[in-house]
Amino acid sequence: MSTSLYGVIALAETAIGLLLMVRLAIGPTISDRIVALNTLSTQAALAVLFFAAFADRTIYLDVALWLASFSYLGAIVWARYLERGLL
């Protein structure tokens, strides 16, 4: 297994973020942007995972774990803000 293959996959997962950034820019309602942001966070977690395999450092994997769990927290916060407002 060549490590450059991992780099190519990390690159592709990041390039998907460009499409999501377009939806983040033009989203007609506020919820469209939340959907794009949540998906962008998931793609960033996948890119960090494959970049960790590409760079051969195990310690980068924890960042992916934090990204995956904190994207959930962000989505819950935004949903609560939409539903009744914070505070």
Partner 1 sequence: MKTVAFLVTAGIGLAFSLSGAVGILRMPDLYSRIQCSSKTVTMGALPALIALVVGEGIDSGYASRALLIAVLLLVVNPTASHALARAAYKSGVPMWSGAVRDEVAGREDSQRRREQDCAGPE
Partner 2 sequence: MTLFWTLDYLVLALIVIGTVLVVRLRNLNGAVMALSAVGTMLSLIFVVLGAPDDAHSEVVVGAIALPVLYLVAIGKARTDVAGGGEMQEEGESHHDGD
70: Cβ contacts below 8 Å, ≥ 6 apart: 41
- 66 and 13 Cβ atoms separated by less than 8 Å: no
Beta carbon of residue 81, minimum distance to partner 2 (angstroms, whole number):
6
Judged by CB under 8 A, the chain residues 31 through 70 that form the site for partner 1 are 31-32, 34-36, 38-39, 42-43, 45-46, 49-50, 52-53, 58, 61-62, 64-65, 68-69
* Smallest distance, partner 1 to C-beta of residue 79, A: 4
72 binds, among partner 1, partner 2, none (CB under 5 to 8 A by kind): partner 1
Task: Report how far residue 41's alpha carbon sits from residue 33's, in angstroms, rounded to the nearest whole number.
Answer: 12
Which string of DSSP letters, residue by residue, matches 8-58? HHHHHHHHHHHHHHHHHHH-SSHHHHHHHHHHHHHHHHHHHHHHHHHHT-G
Residues lying near partner 1 in the complex (CB under 8 A) are found at: 1, 5-6, 9, 12-13, 16, 19-20, 22-23, 29, 31-32, 34-36, 38-39, 42-43, 45-46, 49-50, 52-53, 58, 61-62, 64-65, 68-69, 71-72, 75-76, 78-80, 82-83
